[in-house]
Structures are given as structure tokens and as C-alpha cells.
Chains A and B, each alone.
Chain A
Amino acid sequence: MTAQSQQAPTGMSREEFELAVGRVVKWILIVFFLVITVFPFYWMLNLAARPFADVLQNPTQLLPDGDQLATIPDTLAAIWEDYSFKIYVGNSLVISVVTVLLTLLMAVPAAYAVTRLDFKLKAAMSWGILLIYMFPAIVLAIPLFVIYTRLGLRGQLFGVIVVYMSQTLPVSLYMLRSYFTTIPVDLEEAALIDGCTRLQTVWRVTIPLSIPAIVTVALYVFMIAWNEFLFALLFLQSTPESWTLPIGLQQLNKAQEVPITYLMAGSLIITVPVILLYLFFERFLTSGLTAGAVKG
């Protein structure tokens, strides 16, 4: 207000002028960002609803009509059965859920050790976590491909799960550690004095208090495993019965005669669960992201 009162009374002050321009620019940008983030996803739905012939005739038809929308369940049913998406969804679910459970099983105790216990290699651990976080996946890909081939692990879901664990453990450790440090030590010490062992303390005090962080880590690990492409491609490509959703979809695309409608319906099947999960747990996820959760 002070600045404005110093301005000459004639016309608009620079402050007022810039604020007015800023408001207009701001709303233009809001629309711009909404279009670039939402429209592609809407278009996926649009193309999954309209038959390809119709897409070719009216490429820019923004709204599918009611009859076309009604075909979506049939399209989904077709790729679910005829293109084996039920198998891919099953594989993706198994891989993601098992990765989440095993990662948590390892990361929670490890994060507790790094936060609360004293040992010689503690400082080295922090550096190690950071280094692995930055490590190029493609450098691991070739030797792992060779080792897996030799061990007969290629084509087995377990092999992929182990790799996903190695990719998500450092991040999970990092996130859990930063949360554990915010829990007052007094609470744990009280439990120890009351006769709990260390492990009982972790189970009864630390874990219940860290549920938000554990949920965040679980969601991130799930999403990483659900979305992962490179390792699944390398290890599962040659065994169709163990394809995950991304690989199933990519291979479907490689088979030339598959209609675009089916490809888009497949994209919906893989995208919608992630979007729903995100919308449901948005608060957890946005805070986790700035804690350095996802690499990519």
C-alpha cells in the first residue's frame, strides 16, 4: 500500500499495472498447465472409446458420444481375455505387492539401525545410500542379464522382484531414516526402561509412530514396481506368461494389427490404478516426493 501511495495519482502505478498483467498471465498459465497435464490423459480415454474408423474421420472430435462410451466395457473385456491382460495384471500385482512387502521388511529394521544404533560403518552407509541412488541402471542391466540367464532366473517373477528391491531399498531407507529422526528418543528409551528389548521397542513404539512414512514408502515402491520397464523388458521379454503390464502393452504394440482402441484401453488399465492411488493418497505422496522418493 505504501508503494502505491507514493506513485503519481494519474493513471495506473507500475505496481498496479504489473499486478493486473500478472493476473491475466497467471490465468493463461493455469489453463496452459492444466491442458498439458490433463488433456493427454483425457485423450487416452477418448481414443479408447471411439472406434478407429471414427478417429480417422474426425480426429479432433473432443467428446465421444454416448454409444461410443458404452463400448468401453466391451473393449476392456476383449483385451482382458483375448490379449491376456488378466495374466499381466496378475503378474504386475504380484511383483508390486511382494516388492513392497519385502522392501519394507528389510528397510524398516535397516533404517532403525542407521538412525538409532551406533556402529563403525554408519557414516559409510549414508554415502553408500546416496551413491546407489545415483547409480545408472543400465550398467547393472547387462551383467544381471547374463547372471540371470546362467541361473535360469530369466522369465521368473522372483528375479525381477529382487532387482526392484535393490532399486527401491536405498530410497526407502533414506525416507524412513529422515522420518525416524523426528520421533523423540525419549519414547523409545521409556519402552527400553520398561523392559522391552530393542526389537520389541521397534515393533511397539517406532513402527506405530511411523505409519505415515511407511505408507508413503509402500506407495512409492508399489508405483516404481508397477511402472518399471527396463528390467522387466530385459528379463521377461522372452516368456509371455510372466509379462508385466508395461511389457504386455509394449509387445501388443509391436504386433502391427492390433487396433489403437485396444492399445489405449490397455494404457487405461495400467494408468488408472496409479492415478487413483495417487489421488487417494496425494498428501502422503507429495511430501514423500520432496523427501527424494522417486528417481527417474
Chain B
Amino acid sequence: MPDPIILNFSLMELVAYVLLWAVLGALPGFYLFYANNRNPRTGASLGVVSGVVIGWALAAFSAELNTQLIVNTTAVMWLITLLLAATMPRGTHNVTVSLQQRIADLAYGLLLPTFLIVFAIIIFPTIWNLVFSLRPIKMRDLADASIFSLEGLTLDNFDRVFSTRGGQFWDIMLTTLVYTFFGSVLAIFLGLVAALVAKDSFPGRGIFRGFMLFPYIAPVISLAFIWEMLLNSRFGFINEIVASLGGTRVDFLTTPGWALLMIILFQGWRYFPFSFLFILARIQAIPDDMYEAAKVDGAAPSERLWFITLPQLRAVFGTLFLLRFIWTFNKFDDVFLLTGGVAGTEVVPVQIYNWLFSRQNVGTASATAIVMAVILFGVVAIYFRWFLVAEEV
């Protein structure tokens, strides 16, 4: 006999749980009323109320939060809703409200599931990340329900981010910025060269273009493996070539300096196809007249490239750099799989992972994630300002 008094939930956990049921209840309520030509907003409100009741009841009578329980009761709830939908008399909602209102209702109905997912997986966790970063939570606390509470807020985690291990955070941030900047630039540069090669037709151009995408679409895990094999100091193809040219074998992925260069090269290699396609599309949109006119004026091919093609690509470079910068800055898998963050290649996302799993410190991992997001936002804001000014000139 379960204890009817809620003992196992913290207050925040209970609120979150009931909120989840409220949203789950709103969905069938909305659709049920819409299908029966009644006001779907009333249906959604009723759904919220019944969802809160169900959520509260389940929370009160269950010993632990349990996925199976959620799945089962959701199924029952939707079944009841279907039955109700079949038996409920049709209303007259469509005669009483404006067409505009009905169209808006439909739009919200079509968007509700997407909203729900975005709320549950993006907005809700982000808020909790903020809370966790302000609380001293360790991995072992996950067994305890008090993890979702607002008590004992402190800035210790942020202190730890910046202070422990001799201010290493800024070293890691610098590594991240170097990796991000040069990785992005290299990806765009290689993309530009490949696009210039592919812009005029040559035999096998279609196949060439097809092959260019390989590094981009393949799973990162196998790409990291094959790089490890090629760079291996005992039997790696690259090291064999180095040795046959009279050089000494290098452990590229574990030697400081080389390792950072390798993750930058990997970044440039894996993502140049992305810039390649964008730049190629833009190059092909440059009108032929411009080249013809320049030719008539006596401009050589190199001058046409320098004075026509490249200036025309400036906006694409700007956009590509922004996108690549943001995505590289947040990138975890590439570095984690290639070097694991050793030999001076620890970037912030890898550090966050290490806080979480090596040092089992959830709070400090969250704080690092917040700091990372804020710095990224700052850099992007500066870039936007600088970029917009540059475009006006």
C-alpha cells in the first residue's frame, strides 16, 4: 500500500511532473474539441485541468517517477479521448467564430506537437541547466530526489570553473578559439578551392562533385578511426611516407602541437564540403557578362578571380564563417573521438564532458556550459557588429 503522502518527490520535481501532465492533457483536449467543431481552446483548457488532476493523483500514489507508468497512463488517457471523440455531439463552433480565428486554431493545432517537443527537450532543460549551475550537485546526488530543488543556490560552481587547476579554463578557452577559428577558415578555404576547380566543366565533373561530399556525410566515428589508422606511428600510411622521405615518425594525435594541428586539419577536411556546395552555388550565380566585360578590358584570369569572383563571394564567406564558427565551437564528438582531449586539445565541450563523467560534478559541468554559451553569444554578437559594418562599406 503506497503512502498517499508525497514523500519521494521534491517540490520542484512534483511541479515538473504535473506540468508534463498538463501539457499532455492539452493535446487530446484541443484535438477532441476541434474535431467535434467545438472551441479547441476550451478543450485545451479542460485538458490542462484533467492533466493536472491525473498528474497529481499519479504523483500522490506512486512511489517513484516511472516511465512505464507514464507510457501506460498516457495510452489510457488517449484511448478515453478517442472514445469521447466518437461519442461527443458536434458543436457549432464554426458558425460562431470568424474564419480568421478558425485558421489560427488550426495553425496552433498543427504546431502543438512541435511546441511540445521543443519545450520538453530544449527550453525546459536549458532552464534546469541554469539551476544546476547554481547548486552543488554531484553525480551521486542523481539518486536523490532533492536534485530538482531551488535550495542552497551558490556561485561556487562558477568559482570552480575559473579557479581550479591554475586557471586552466582560459587555456582551454584559448585552445577552443584557436581550433574553432583555424578550423572554420580552413574549411572555407578548402571549400573555395574545390569550388573554383569544379566551377567549369571537365570530364568527370559530376563524379568529382559527388565524391567531395564523402567526408561530410560519413559518420564521425569511422572518420576518426580511419584518421587514427592513417596517422598511427607504427603502421600509419602517413607515418610510412614521412619515414620513407627520411623523417622521424610522429605520434600525431598524442604529441602536443601536432595534436592541435590534427584536429584543425580534421575540422577543415570534414566540413569543407559544406562550404564547397555553398560557394559553388554562389559562383555559378555570378553573371557571365561580368567576366566577359573584364576580359574585354584586358583582365587576365587571375585578375578576374581576384577582382570579380572573390568580391562576389564576400557575403557567402561571412555567412559560412558565422555558421562554421558556431558549430565548431560547440563541437564535441570530433575532438573527443580523435584525441580524447589529450596533448593540448581539450576544448570546452570535452571539458564539460570530463567535469560530468571523470570528476562526476554535475553542477560545475552545467556552469561551464553556461559560461561557454555566454562567451559564444558574445563572440557572435561582436562578429555581427563587425560584419554588418564591413558590409556597409
Contact = CB atoms under 8 A, between A and B. Distances in A.
A and B are partners in one complex rather than unrelated chains: yes
Interface of A: 2-3, 6, 14-15, 18-19, 22, 26, 29-30, 33-34, 36-38, 40-41, 43-44, 47, 55-56, 59-60, 105-107, 109-110, 112-114, 117-120, 122, 125, 128, 132, 134-147, 149-153, 156, 162-163, 165-166, 169-170, 173, 198, 223, 226-227, 229-230, 245-246, 249-250, 253, 260, 263-264, 267-268, 270-271, 274-275, 278-279, 282, 285-286, 289-290, 294-296
A87 B117 CA distance: 28
A162 B116 CA distance: 11
Contacts of A47: 229
A270 B337 CA distance: 16
Interface centre among B229, B236, B295, B369 (most CB of A within 10 A): B229
Contact of A18 (B114, B121, B271, B300): B300
Given A41-B226, A173-B114, A290-B277, A227 B240 contact: no
B237 A152 contact: no
B185 interface: no
Contact of A229 (B121, B202, B221): B221
Nearest to A17: B300
B308 interface: no
A152 B226 contact: no
B378 interface: no
Contact of A146 (B142, B213, B298, B329): B142
A113 B107 contact: yes
A143 B373 CA distance: 15
B80 interface: no
A47 B70 CA distance: 48
B389 interface: no
Contact of B117 (A106, A264, A290): A106
B6 to A, nearest CB: 15
Interface residues of B, number: 97
12 contacts: A38-B214, A110-B113, A112-B110, A119-B107, A122-B107, A125-B111, A139-B129, A139-B373, A140-B126, A226-B219, A271-B218, A271-B219
B194 interface: yes
Q: Which of B221, B327, B337: most chain A Cβ within 10 A?
A: B221
A55 B349 CA distance: 35
Interface in B65-124: 65-68, 70, 100, 103-104, 106-108, 110-111, 113-114, 117-118, 120-122, 124
B177 interface: no
Nearest to B302: A18
Which are the 7 A-B pairs with shortest beta-carbon distances? A267-B222, A166-B121, A143-B125, A109-B110, A143-B128, A117-B107, A113-B110
